[in-house]
Structure 1
Amino acid sequence: MEFPSNESATSEVERALSVLVENTEDDAALDALAGSEVLVPVPDDTDDDTAADPTTVALPVLEQDGETPLVPVFTSELRMAELLPYVSRYRLVPLGALASQWPTGDLSLTIDASSPHGLTLNSEGVRTLLARPRG
């Protein structure tokens, strides 16, 4: 069995994001997105033991006055560098697994925020749209 290269997987996820910008209920695009891996920046204040623990992911939460806090994730190092050029550490995490463990409350997820296909989902959208069983 041949596995796609990282570049191929990234472009598949970007295509899914582009479809979802137009139609957030496209099942094929949601399945592709939920089955993809994303880069989650490791917050600067995360200690080395926590950053290295494969069972824990420290979420980088961006907060602005009057806005819902959000967690940025990215489809590639290039997309991450466009928005957060000083990030030195990140974790590669299956998006569906991240969504299935998404905290309750007001916390949004933004995927490739600086790109034309960027997508932001509120907390409920993350849990209902991306925490999908894969079949």
Structure 2
Amino acid sequence: MQTPANDNAANPAQRALGTLAENTSDPAALDTLAGSEVLVPVPDDASDEDAAGASLALPVLEQSGGGQVVPVFTSELEMAGLLPFVSRYRLVPLGALAAQWPADDLSLSIDAGSEHRLTLTSDGVRTLLARP
């Protein structure tokens, strides 16, 4: 049996997103996702010091309903698909990002432009992805 080429190209985080698209509570997929590193876009107008500093500024996008979402990505290709104008990013462990997630109504969207995107509320980020 032959595996589709795009399955071979998918990284573990992307495969976990595919699993979660079918079963949102799959514990192995959530663990894989939480243990993965994601690309956090850095605006082109940010200084080099801000882009490489110890603190991380989250990019926040306004949603049509008025909510706010932070987009992160599992690969450069996924990021370029939604934000082609962003040329810099920081690689951050998703579980560590989730452990420090703000308590307000800020959502997280992983691979927002993909068919297997996952968007979580603030509570969902801390509950499902934060790891000690």
| TM tier, smaller | 0.7 to 0.9
Question: What letter is aligned with 2:34?
Answer: A
| Unpaired runs of at least 5, structure 2 | 1-7
Aligned to 1:112: 111
Q: Which residue of 2 aligns with 1:5?
A: none
Identify the residue that residue 19 of structure 2 maps to in structure 1.
Answer: 19
Contact 2:68 2:105 in 1 (8 A): yes
Partner Cα distance (1:128, 1:44) in 2: 32
Q: Which residue of 2 aligns with 1:82?
A: 81
Tell me the TM-score normalized by structure 2. Answer: 0.87
Are residues 1:122 and 2:121 paired? Answer: yes
- Counting strand residues as a fraction of each chain, which structure ranks higher? 2
Per the alignment, residue 35 of structure 1 pairs with 35
Between the aligned residues of both structures, percent identity stands at 70
Q: How far apart in 1 are the matches of 2:33 and 2:75?
A: 13
Aligned residues: 125
1:21–1:67: structure 2 CA closer, same or farther, 3 Å change rule? farther
Contact kept, 8 Å, 1:46 with 1:58, in 2: the verdict is no
TM-score (norm 1): 0.86
Gap change, CA 1:10 and 1:96, over 3 Å in 2 = farther
RMSD (Å), alpha carbons: 1.7
Any unmatched runs of 5+ in structure 1?
Answer: 1-7
Distance (whole Å) between structure 2 residues aligned to residue 74 and residue 65 of structure 1: 20
Q: 1:14, CA displacement in angstroms?
A: 0.9
Displacement of 1:56 after TM fit?
Answer: 1.1
With 8-17 and 33-42 compared, the bigger mean Cα shift is at 8-17
CA contact (8 A) 2:39 2:74 kept: yes
